[in-house]
Structure 1
C-alpha cells in the first residue's frame, strides 16, 4: 500500500505543519470510490483555534496538495539496498552499541528537528541523555531560536514566553524587530493588520534593514544598520530614563541589576543624535519611535530571526527585555517581549530538552539536583552529566572524527547548517550516518549509510507547541506508506534492541505524552515554569479530543495560563527578574575590499525550509520560483546588472547563482538571498554554503544574517527553459546553471551556461531524448541565437525547449497550460513555438498564488476599472481574498499605480 488511504471521510481537527504560529486546521479527506479515482484533501482554517480563528496562509491552505507519496522514502535501506525493518533496526542498535563500547558515549550523536512532534522529541532526548549517556543531541531549532531561549533564561530564570497572541489585539504599539512577519508568520501579520483597522491608535514600527512586505502596515520603518539592534534598545533604555518614564516601583519590587544595565546603556549610546548615527537612522524617525515607546504603556516588541541569528543574539534579546522590565510592561494585557519561533514545534522541543544544553521539562545540567531528578524519574542509570555539543560544534566534531556515528532525524543539515559544504564533507567522512526522514532524496540522505522511512504530517498523532505556549495536537487522518513508521516508534525499537525495553515500552503517542506531563510536575511545586501535570493521567480519548491549551496547565491553572509573570514573580533564585548590562558588538564578518557586500538570508512567502513539502505543489512554486539576489539599484548599476540577469555570489566557502532582483527596499551594500533551494531544485542555490560558522558564544546560534561576499555577473552565453511531462536528470546539464520548478502536470527547468552552445539541435535531442512515435517540431535561427523545439506524442505535448542569448523569452504560463490538455488543438499547434496564443496577454509573475493571478493582470484591472483599494482588486479578480498572504504586494502594486499612473509591466 503505497498510495494514500484515508482513515475516514469525517473532518479532522489538526494543526498546521509549518511555522511556529501553530494554526488550527480542519481537514476534509475525500475517499476515492474506486482505485483509479484521485484522492483529495481539503484544508481550511479551524475557526475554533485561538492561534488563527479560521485564517490560513497560502502554505497552510495548500497543505492538502502535498500529501501524496511522490518522492517519499518507502523502505529502510542500508548502503543503498532495501532491507526489512528488523534488519535496519538491528544494524543501528548494534553499530551504536559497538561505537559506544569502543569510543565511549560521546562518540555518538543525534541531530533532530523542530518539526518533530513532542513525543518524538521526548523519546530521542530520553534515549540519548538518559540511557546512552551523552548530551550530544542538538536540533535545527538551534538555528532559529536558541538566542531567544538564553535571553529569556538570563532575564526570567526560565525559558518563558510571557505573552499571548491576544496581546497583539490589545497593544497600542507593536514594534517588529528582525521579522518579515508578513512572509514568515503571515497569520500573525494578518492579526496585527486587523487589530490596526479596529484600533486607530495602534502604531506599528518595523525595525529591519530591508523594507519588507511587513512595512505595508507600518507607521514607521527604521531601516537599521545590520547588527545594531542592541545599540538601538540600549538607546531606548537610556531615553526612558532621561524622560522619567521608568516604573521605579516595579524595578525596585520585581527586578535586580537595573543600575548596571542603565549605566552601560547611558555610557555607550549617548544622545539621540549619536544613536541615530550609530544605527544609520534618520534622527526624526528614530526620535518618533523613542517617543512612542516611551509614552505608550501597552507595548509589544515582537522579534525573530533578525535578532536571533547573530553572534550577539542573546544580548540583543536581553536589550529588548531590559526595556520592558524598566517600564513594568510585562505580564499585562497588550505588553511584553515576544519571541516568535520559526518551526511548528520549536517550543515543544524546548519543553523536552531537545537542545544539547538542556534537560527535559525545562531543567538544565547546571544544577546537579536536576540531573538526579530526571535520572530518578526515568530510572536511568547512565544519565548524562553535562552539556553536549551544540549544532556547529557537533558537526565540527563529526568532521574531526570525534563523533563516529550520528543519527539525523527529520532535518536537512547539508542545506541548512552554516558552512554547509563543510558539513557535507564531515558526513561523507563519518563512519556511520543514519538519516530518518519522510523523503528519499535530500542533500542529507545522499550521504547516509542507513535510511529509515518516517511518517509525516497527517499520518501520525502528536503534540506541538506554538510561539505563545499553546499546545495543540497534529492528528492522523490517513495511512502513510506501508513501511513508514512514527519517529517515536523507530527510536523506541532501537532503544529496546540496545537493552532498555523497560524504559521504552510505548504503545501509542499518548503513553509518551502522559509521561512527559508527569515529568513536568515531578518535584516541581511551582519551582519550574513548564508544568502540564494536569495531563499526567490523560486518557487516550482525552488526548484525542485535547483542545488547544496554553501551559502551564496544572492544579492551579487547569484551563491553562494566558500570560506569565502577572504577579511579578520570576524563576530566578531571588524570584526577581534580572536586568543584563549590554555592550553591543558588531557582527563578526565585516566588509572588505575583496568582499564588500553583506549577505542577509531569509524566507520567501510561499516556501518552507528546504522545500521537501512545499516544492511538491505548483501553486507554491509560482510566486518565487528561482533563487534570487536582491540588490539596491546603485549596487546593480555598479556591476551593470539588470532585473533578471544572473549573478554569482561567492566567498572562500562557496558560491551561489541566482536571478537579480533590484529594489530600493534594500540598503546599499547589502544583498538578500532566500534560504530554501537545495541540490534537488537548483545547481547552485544553497545559500548556507556561503554562511560562516560564526556563533553567539552563549547560545551557539549561527550568525546567518551577516556574511560578507562578493558578486559578479554570471556571463551566460545562452539561456533557456524546458517544460517536460517527466523529470529530467540534472546531470545532463553538466555544471551549468539550472533550477527545477514543479508545474501542474509538468516540470520546468530554467537553464543557462557560460559555455557557448554550438549545436542547439543536437544538445536538445540529447537532453530531451526523443521517444518512439514522437513528433519533433522546431525553429532554429542561429543568427539571432534562438532555438525552439517541441515533442508531441499522440497529439499531446510531452516536452518543449526554448533557448536564446538572454533571459528575455516568452512567458512559461501559456505553454505550461498545454500540459493540462489531453489533445492539442490546431491553433495551439500553430502557436506552440511562438510561446503564446495569438493575441493573448502575458499575465506576468504570479502575485496571488491561491488564484494564479499575475502582476500584469492586476495592473490592467487597476487601470481599466479604476480600482483604488486592495478590496476592490479582490472583488474584481479574487486576488487577496483567500489566505491574504499577497495583500502586502497588492498594496505595493496599487500604491505604485496610483502614484505614477503609469504601468510598469513585467514578464
Structure 2
C-alpha cells in the first residue's frame, strides 16, 4: 500500500488528507485505485474529515478539460488545438494588446484554488514583467474585508489566533459564520472541547438559526446590516461597567478617546430595535464577554461580504482592543478563510493592491524591493492599485479591458449581478479560461480553454486559516494534456522575453524564490522549503530562516507590539452605514445567501459527486412562517424571487430558522446545475469602499407566488 499526504482542496480549514493507493486494484479508474482518509498527524484537522473531503477522489476524473480548445468568437464551437498553438495565441494577444492599448488593458482573475507557487508566478508575470497590477482573485469575494480590517486595526494582514485557541477559550463569538456547515472540522474541535468544559460559552450572531446557532448559549438573530451597531452597543456596556483593560489601552492602542466619544451614541436601548433583538440579549452578550478571561471571535462571509465589511471587521476587533483580548492563548480576532489557499494567496500578493510578502503596490519602497529582486528596471511595477474583479467587469463594458485571463474559478456563478456580468463577458475581445473541469458556466464565455492540473496532479504548498503551511504532493499523472498553472504562467513569461525572470525548473524552485522574498516580513517563511515541509510536516508562520519545526510562535502579537507606525493597534471609531440596498415597499424582503454542508462554492467539483448531489439536490428559498402566511405560500410551492437586477425561480422552505423579513438562498447553483435558479441573478455589486468586497449577503427582493 502506498500513501501520500496532502491537503483537502475545499475550505480554508486546511484539513490534512492521506490518500492511499491499493496496488491490488486493477481498474483504470482513479476512484477505484485510490482511497482517501483523514491524516491523523495533521495538527489542524487531527484526522477528522467532512463529507466533501471524504468524497473528493470521486471528482478527479469526472468532467475534466483534457486539451486546449479554441474558437475565434463565442458563437462558434470549440476546436481542439495544441499547447504550442495555445501558447502562441496567448503571447501574440498579450503583445498586440500591450502595444495597442497598454498593459492596463490586460487583466488576470485567479483563485484560492491556486497553490502558493501558482499565485507567486502569476504576480511576477502580471505585476512585474507586464507592469500592471490588474491581478485579482476570488478572495476579493471572500476575505478582502478581513485583509483590510486586520491591516487598518493591527498594522498587517494575518489572523493572530490559531485553532488551538478553540480549545483554550472561555467564550467563543461566531459572527456571520455558519461554521458547523462551512468549516465543520474547526467547529467540531470546539464542540468537543466545550463538551468537556460545559462552562465555556458560545455566542452566535447570525440572521439565521443555523446548525451553528442551534448549539449556542446565546443566538443573536440580528437584522442584516446591523453588526456594527451591535458591536458598538456591547462596547457601550463594557465601558459603562468598567470592564476594559486600561493598561493595554494606554500602552498599546491609538484613538481610544475618539472611540469612547463615538460609543456613547450607541446605548443598547437605541441599538436593540435596529438590530431586531432585545436589550436583554445585548446585555447578555456583553456580560459573556466581560466575564471571560479569554474571548475568541471567529467570522467569515457574514461580516466580509458587505458594503461596510471593513468597518464591521474593525468594529469587532475594537472589542478585543478594549478588553486586551488579543495576543494570548484562547483569545483574539480570527477570520475563517473561505478557500484552501486564500491565505497563501495573500502572502504571495494575490490581490490587486498587494505584492508578495505582504507588500503594497502603493509603497515606493516595496515596489523598489521587488524590482531589484526580480531584476526589473526601476519604475516597472505600477504604483496604481489594479482593478478589482468587478472593475474588470466594468472595464469590459467600457472597452478598456481587452484581454481577460481567468484561472481556477467560476465567476459566471460567483460574481454578483450575473446578467450584467454575462453581458460584459460577451463583449470581451479575448478571454482565456484555465480550468481543470469542463463544462462550467464560465467556459461558455471563453475564447481559449487551457486544461489545468488540479490538487491531486500537482505539487506545491497551501496555507490555511491558522497560517499553517502544508506541502501537498501530487499522487497521480495529470488528466489528458493538463499542465500546472505556475508552469503555464512561467512559459508565457519566457516567450514574452523574460527568460531571466522565469528560470524555474521545478515547483520547488518557485517556492524557494518566494520564501526568500518574505524574510523579515510578518508572513516570514524564509526558513521553509518543500524539503523541510515534506520531512517535518505542516508548519505555522512566521518561520524565519534558522527556525526549527514546532518552535515558531502559534500566535501573533504576543508582545503587544503591532506592525504600525508607532507599534500600537488602532481603535476604529466608525459609524455604521447600513445596507447598500435596504428593503422598501417595492422590494420588502432582505435576501441573504450562504453555503451548505455538502456543496462547495459553484459545484465545479461537488456537482459531479453523486452522494453530495443526493444530499443537496436543488436550491431553495427559506421563508419564515409569518412571511409565508402573508404571502399565502406553503412548503414546497414554487415562487419567483425578483430584485432590481434579475429573477430566479425557487421552491419554498418554510422555517423558523430565518428571521421575519429576511429570506435565504444557498449560493452554489449556477445555470449548469439549476437553470433559472441562480441566486446571483439577484445580488448587486455595491462594495466596501476600502476592501472592494461586494455585498453578496444582502439585497432587496420581492416574492411572487406562482399563479398569483
TM-score between both structures, scaled by the size of structure 2: 0.97
* 1:62 aligns to 2:55 (yes or no): yes
Q: Which residue of 1 aligns with 2:560?
A: 568
- Measured in 2, the distance between the counterparts of 1:685 and 1:563 equals 43
2:211 is aligned to: 213
Say whether the 8 Å CA contact 1:324–1:330 is kept in structure 2: yes
Secondary structure in structure 2 of the residue aligned to 1:168: helix
1:53 is matched with which residue?
46
C-alpha contact (below 8 Å) 2:363/2:383 kept by paired residues: no
**Equivalent position of 1:502 in the other structure:** 500
In the TM superposition, what is the alpha-carbon distance from 1:440 to its structure 2 partner? 1.8
How many Å separate the matches in 2 of 1:28 and 1:714?
51
Corresponding position of 1:547? 537
Deviation of 1:668 (Å): 0.9
Quote the residue 2:266 is aligned against.
269
Deviation at 1:555, TM superposition (A): 4.0
Judge conservation of contact 1:645–1:659 (CA < 8 Å) in 2: yes
Instruction: Tell me which of the two structures has the higher relative contact order, counting C-alpha pairs closer than 8 angstroms and 6 or more residues apart.
Output: 2
Partner SS for 2:344? helix
- Kept after mapping to 1: 8 A contact 2:525/2:545: no
Within-5 A mapping of 1:439-450: 439-450=437-448
Q: Which residue, 25, 32, 35 being the options, matches 1:42? A: 35
Is 1:639 aligned to 2:635, yes or no?
no
Whether contact under 8 Å (1:173, 1:293) holds in the other structure is: yes
How far off is 1:126 after superposition? 1.0
Partner residue in 1 for 2:522? 529
Q: C-alpha distance in 2, partners of 1:168/1:36?
A: 43
Alignment match, 2:395: 397
Q: In the aligned structure 2, how far is the partner of 1:310 from the partner of 1:595?
A: 19
1:600 matched to 2:598: no
Residue deviations 1:838-874, cap 9 Å, x none?
Answer: xxxxxxxxxxxxxxxxxxxxxxxxxxxxxxxxxxxxx
Distance 2:558 2:534 in 1: 32
Equivalent position SS for 1:213: coil
State whether residues 125 and 493 of structure 2, in contact with CA within 8 Å, keep that contact through their aligned partners in structure 1. Answer: yes
Residue pairs, 1:452-467, within 5 angstroms: 452-467=450-465
Which residue pairs with 1:748 in the alignment? none
Q: Deviations over 1:868-895 (max 9, x none)?
A: xxxxxxxxxxxxxxxxxxxxxxxxxxxx
Counterpart Cα distance in 2 of 1:542 and 1:348: 17
CA distance in 2, matches of 1:303, 1:375: 36
Q: Distance in 2 between matches of 1:482 and 1:31?
A: 22
Q: Which has the larger radius of gyration?
A: 1
Shift of 1:611: 0.4
CA distance in 2, matches of 1:33, 1:319: 56
Match of 1:148 in 2: 146
* Partners of 2:230 and 2:282 within 8 A in 1: no
- Among 320, 325, 336, the residue aligned to 1:324: 320
Aligned to 1:250: 248
Give runs of aligned pairs for residues 106-505 of structure 1, distance below 5 A.
Answer: 106-266=104-264, 268-270=265-267, 272-381=268-377, 382-505=380-503
Matched residues in 2 for 1:36 and 1:296: separation?
56
* Distance apart, 1:542 and its partner CA: 3.4
In structure 2, the CA distance between the partners of 1:111 and 1:34, relative to structure 1 (3 Å rule), is same
How much does 1:36 deviate? 6.0
Deviation of 1:154 after TM superposition, in Å, equals 0.3
Please state whether the residue corresponding to 1:518 is helix, strand or coil. helix
Q: Determine if contact 2:452/2:482 at 8 Å carries over to the other structure.
A: yes
Q: Contact 1:234 / 1:582 at 8 angstroms: preserved in 2?
A: no
- In structure 2, the CA distance between the partners of 1:492 and 1:36, relative to structure 1 (3 Å rule), is closer
Cα distance per residue 1:793-815 (max 9 Å; x no partner): xxxxxxxxxxxxxxxxxxxxxxx
Alignment CA distance shift 1:170-1:102 (3 Å)? same
- 1:90 counterpart (85, 88, 91): 88
Aligned mate of 1:672, from 659, 664, 688: 664
Conservation of the 8 A alpha-carbon contact between 1:20 and 1:341: yes
Distance in 2 of aligned mates of 1:500 and 1:714: 60
SS of corresponding position for 2:593: strand
Question: Is the CA contact (8 Å cut-off) linking 2:407 and 2:433 kept in structure 1?
Answer: yes
Count of residues paired in the alignment: 697
Cα separation, 2, equivalents of 1:34 and 1:22: 31
How far is the alpha carbon of 1:385 from its aligned partner? 2.1
3-state DSSP of counterpart to 2:237: helix
Check 1:430–1:242 CA distance in 2 against 1; reply closer, same or farther (3 A cut). Answer: same
Q: Secondary structure at the match of 2:129?
A: helix
Instruction: Verify the 8 A CA contact 1:32 1:39 in the aligned structure 2.
Output: no
Q: Distance in 2 between matches of 1:488 and 1:580?
A: 39
Q: 1:544 to 1:50 in 2, by over 3 A?
A: closer
Classify the secondary structure of the residue corresponding to 1:39.
helix
Describe the SS at the equivalent of 2:359. coil
TM-fit CA distance, 1:507: 1.7
The alpha-carbon deviation at position 62 of structure 1 amounts to 1.1
Question: Normalization by structure 1: what TM-score?
Answer: 0.76
* Separation in 2, partners of 1:243, 1:294: 9
1:682: how far off? 1.0
Gapped runs of 5+ residues in structure 1? 1-8, 717-907
Whether the 8 Å CA contact 1:399–1:423 is kept in 2: the answer is: no
Q: Residues 865-880 of structure 1: matches in 2 within 5 Å?
A: none
Question: Secondary structure of the residue that 2:432 maps to in structure 1?
Answer: strand
Q: Secondary structure at the match of 2:136?
A: strand
**What is the Cα deviation at residue 214 of structure 1?**
0.5
Deviations 1:436-484 (A, max 9, x none): 0001211111110100000002111111111110111222111121300
Give how far 1:45 is off.
1.0
* Equivalent position of 2:74 in the other structure: none
CA contact (8 A) 1:414 1:421 kept: no
Instruction: For residue 278 of structure 1, report the CA deviation from its aligned partner.
Output: 2.5
Cα offsets for 1:766-824 (capped at 9, x unmatched): xxxxxxxxxxxxxxxxxxxxxxxxxxxxxxxxxxxxxxxxxxxxxxxxxxxxxxxxxxx
1:705 paired to 2:702: no
CA contact (8 A) 1:265 1:582 kept: no
Measured at CA, do residues 497 and 589 of structure 1 come closer, stay the same or move farther in structure 2, by a change above 3 Å? same
Superimposed CA distance per residue, residues 734-783 of structure 1 (whole angstroms, 9 cap, x where no aligned partner): xxxxxxxxxxxxxxxxxxxxxxxxxxxxxxxxxxxxxxxxxxxxxxxxxx
Q: Distance in 2 between matches of 1:264 and 1:36?
A: 66
Alignment of 1:23-42 (within 5 A): 23-31=15-23, 33-34=25-26, 39-42=32-35
When residues 32 and 65 of structure 1 are mapped into structure 2, their CA distance, relative to the original with a 3 A threshold, is farther
- Relative distance call for 1:500 and 1:282 in structure 2 (3 A) is same
The runs of 5 or more residues in structure 2 that have no matched partner are 72-77
**Mapped partners of 2:486, 2:641: distance in 1:** 41
Q: Distance in 2 between matches of 1:33 and 1:280?
A: 59
